[in-house]
């Protein structure tokens, strides 16, 4: 038998990132225990939104910590999905880490730009409170999705390495959770959305649907 040389890519930096993201959610749980308990049942009970939608919606440490957790795990999930579906021929640690940094930077820039545009629209239409409430609700459900992405990232790195099924199931659950969030949002703010229907559709297409289509097309290509 002839020996076969296998190039095994080190994933130490991904392990470090996963553990770093876990630190954020542990701090959030320790510092805001009761709030975390309400957050963890978010898709099944709207108590978290009802209790914490009044003040300090976006700029409080609990929300910031969970958003950091979400950004890191979203970046890792997109990166791992790209590796699984694109199947690059030549992969080095330097090239993969550079690609991840590009994905991470893109997500941070996109989310900051999106937040700015949403709050700016609230200022333009004199609806700061409503827009802040909408952003808080959508971000809360997205942050909850990061818990699923965290477990998916761990599974894809150490258990079912390269599993497309894990990616498909995780993506479907992410859509389900955020779909619940959107259904709640539409039901609670239907009058405001109806009065600004054109701008709502424009926002939906440009900032909610288009990014996922772009990400999906790049992963497939």
Helices 61-86 and 93-124: crossing angle in degrees, nearest 10, is: 130
Q: How far apart, in whole angstroms, are the C-alpha atoms of residue 74 and residue 148?
A: 10
Check the CA dihedral 107-126-59-53 and report its sign: negative
97 near 13, Cβ under 8 Å? yes
Q: How confident is the model at residue 210 (pLDDT cuts 50, 70, 90)?
A: low
Neighbours of 17 (CB within 10 A): 19
DSSP 60: S
Determine contact, residues 134/189, Cβ cutoff 8 Å: yes
* 10 contacts 93 by C-beta, under 8 angstroms: yes
Q: What is the pLDDT of residue 57?
A: 65
27 in Cβ contact with 21 (< 8 Å): no
Residue 34 has pLDDT above 50, yes or no: yes
User: Tell me, what's the pLDDT at 1?
Assistant: 46
Sorted by sequence, the CB contacts under 8 Å of residue 163 that are 6+ apart come out as 84, 155, 156
Question: Which residues, at least 6 apart from 102, have a Cβ–Cβ distance to it below 8 Å?
Answer: none
Query: Could you tell me which residue, 116 or 22, shows the higher pLDDT?
Result: 22
Higher pLDDT, 169 or 110: 169
So what's the pLDDT on residue 94? Answer: 60
Whether the full predicted model's pTM is greater than 0.95, yes or no, is no
The most confident of 103-107, 126-130, 149-153, by mean pLDDT: 149-153
Nearest to 34 by CA among 52, 53, 19: 52
Nearest CA to 164 out of 75, 81, 79 is that of: 81
**Cβ–Cβ under 8 Å, residues 2 and 130:** no
At 161-208, the pLDDT tens digits run 888 999 999 999 999 998 888 788 777 666 766 666 666 666 666 666
Residue 33 has pLDDT above 50, yes or no: yes
């Amino acid at each position: 038998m002839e020996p076969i040389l296998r190039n095994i890519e080190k994933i130490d930096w991904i392990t470090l990132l996963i553990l770093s993201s876990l630190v954020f959610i542990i701090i959030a749980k320790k510092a805001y225990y009761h709030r975390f308990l309400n957050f963890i049942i978010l898709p099944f009970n709207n108590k978290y939104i009802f209790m914490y939608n009044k003040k300090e919606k976006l700029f409080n440490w609990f929300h910031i910590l969970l958003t950091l957790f979400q950004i890191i795990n979203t970046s890792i999930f997109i990166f791992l999905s790209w590796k699984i579906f694109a199947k690059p021929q030549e992969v080095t640690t330097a090239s993969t880490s550079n690609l991840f940094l590009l994905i991470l930077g893109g997500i941070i820039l996109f989310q900051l730009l999106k937040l700015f545009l949403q709050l700016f629209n609230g200022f333009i239409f004199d609806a700061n409170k409503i827009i802040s409430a909408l952003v808080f609700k959508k971000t809360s459900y997205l942050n909850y999705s990061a818990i699923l992405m965290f477990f998916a990232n761990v599974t894809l790195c150490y258990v079912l390495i390269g599993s497309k099924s894990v990616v498909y199931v995780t993506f479907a659950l992410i859509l389900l959770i955020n779909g619940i969030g959107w259904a709640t949002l539409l039901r609670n703010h239907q009058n405001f959305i109806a009065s600004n229907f054109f701008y709502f559709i424009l926002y939906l297409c440009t900032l909610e649907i288009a990014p996922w289509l772009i990400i999906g097309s790049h992963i497939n290509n």
